[in-house]
Amino acid sequence: MQVDADLHIHSHYSKAVSKAMTISNLAENARFKGLGLVGTGDILNPKWEEELLKYAKKVGEGTYERNGIRFLLTTEVEDNRRVHHVLIFPGIKSVREMRERLKPYSSDIETEGRPHLNLSAGEIADLANELDVLIGPAHAFTPWTSLYKEYNSLREAYGSARIHFLELGLSADSEMADRIKAHHKLTYLSNSDAHSPMLHRLGREFNRFEVEEVTFEEIRKAILKRGGRKIVLNAGLDPRLGKYHMTACSRCYTKYSLEEAMAYHWKCPKCGGRIKKGVRDRILELADTDEKPKDRPPYIHLAPLAEIIAMVIGKGVETKAVRAVWERFLKEFGSEIRVLVDVPVEALAEVHEEVAKAVWAYRNERLIIIPGGGGKYGEIRLPEEIKKASIEELESIEVELPEEEKPRQRSITEFLVVR
């Protein structure tokens, strides 16, 4: 069986997180999104553990359920160099044991959702391995609180300690991460790091697992690539839309090559602002291969359905007009992921033809993308040729994208997994 999963979120006990991040809201919105499995996030917080046990029932070791949605026990922690790590626990016993073992190294483990630990990345990984907890770097390429913000390699961060996966985050996709040879043995997770249960946050990045049932043990096997269990699809935002994709000035957003930024000593000659190194250039600094592992599943670039609708009708993502169109699609097809990935475009067009054309453009990498940088998000534009074409004409039209906008990966239609 296949299940779509988002394994990195936060609860209302983390800073800067919506008060609506509750177990009941997560279960309801996960169903609308099309997720069958969600990480609890913040499970080291005892109050969040209490809420989980009150509002969800145990269906297996390390596995809980609310209204048909499964939950795994997960959290994110911050080490002594402000690097973040994702943990996936095999059961409540290991959660409680790790909490007790970490108390001497944390002043906020019982109050904060994402605790700060006075331990190194390697020390945290050693403890995780001792307790059979899966661990990997969170959003590994972001310019803040990430592995490659602080270190130049996995070994420099973790030493000889074993890690089990690498989370791509919103800043990278498989193509980018595979430029580093040491990653090739690792499974990639694409998770949302959602701070809100809204559908343009929860599940904006997800993983499609091939497993026999939705339990911790089956997901563990898939992450470790054992017994035929595996991830068959990673999905997420196009990294070019990220705020720090390109090297750019953080004040006026002028983009620079890495060589230019270095020549200017990271000071913008136009406005005097600080130039921020982009994720793209950071990965190119570390890149040591053009090869790709043969078992790497496809990665597809998607955006939340509400954002696609907002782009098409020219309204804000949380307006009533966008919500109305969104509800029509969900009433017809059941979930957002089905609309974005699985439903034929011809069927989508019966609900809203212009949105259907935009979904087609996403699936086939036929959007004009102006990359982000310096703290400013990238922009998406739908080519005029697609706007003017009928649904029947889409496959035959030629869209001439600028060289830098041409897709680096094959389109979703080549990877479509029939559910």
Q: Is residue 126 part of a domain?
A: yes
User: Which structural domain range is residue 121 located in?
Assistant: 2-236
pLDDT value of position 418:
36
**Residues sharing a CB contact under 8 Å with residue 72, sequence separation 6 or more, in sequence order:** 7, 37, 38, 39, 40, 62, 63, 64, 88, 89, 216, 219
Look up the pTM and report it: 0.92
Q: What is the model's pLDDT at position 414?
A: 54
Q: Determine, yes or no, domain membership for 154.
A: yes
Range 267-286 average pLDDT: 96
Any residues with CB less than 8 A from the CB of 301 and at least 6 apart, and which? 173, 235, 236, 237, 238, 362, 365, 407, 409, 412
Whether 246 is in a domain gets the answer: no
Extract the tokens encoding 296.
């790497």
In a domain, 174, yes or no: yes
111, part of any domain: yes
pLDDT mean over 356-376: 93
217 in any annotated domain: yes
Angle at 387 (CA atoms; ends 382, 393), nearest 5 degrees: 120
Predicted pLDDT at 417: 40
Indicate whether 404 pLDDT > 80. Answer: no
Give residue 399's identity as a one-letter amino acid code: V
* Domains in the chain, number: 1
Distance CA 308, CA 321 (A): 13
CA-CA distance, 49 to 41, in Å (whole number)?
10
| Average pLDDT of the residues in 353-359 | 96
On whether residue 384 sits in a domain, the answer given is no
Is residue 306 domain-resident?
Answer: no
Q: Which amino acid is at 416?
A: L
Residue 132 falls in which region: left (phi positive, over 0), alpha (psi -120 to 50) or beta: left
Lowest mean pLDDT among 27-36, 340-349, 406-415: 406-415
DSSP state of 376: B
Nearest to 20 by CA among 199, 147, 228, 154: 199
The average pLDDT across 120-130 equals: 98
Beta bridge partners of 37: 5, 70
CATH number of the CATH domain containing 76: 3.20.20.140
Q: How confident is the model at residue 292 (pLDDT cuts 50, 70, 90)?
A: very high
Give the largest CA-CA distance in the chain: 64
Rounded Cα–Cα distance for residues 93 and 90 (Å): 8
Q: How confident is the model at residue 398 (pLDDT cuts 50, 70, 90)?
A: confident
Predicted pLDDT at 410: 47
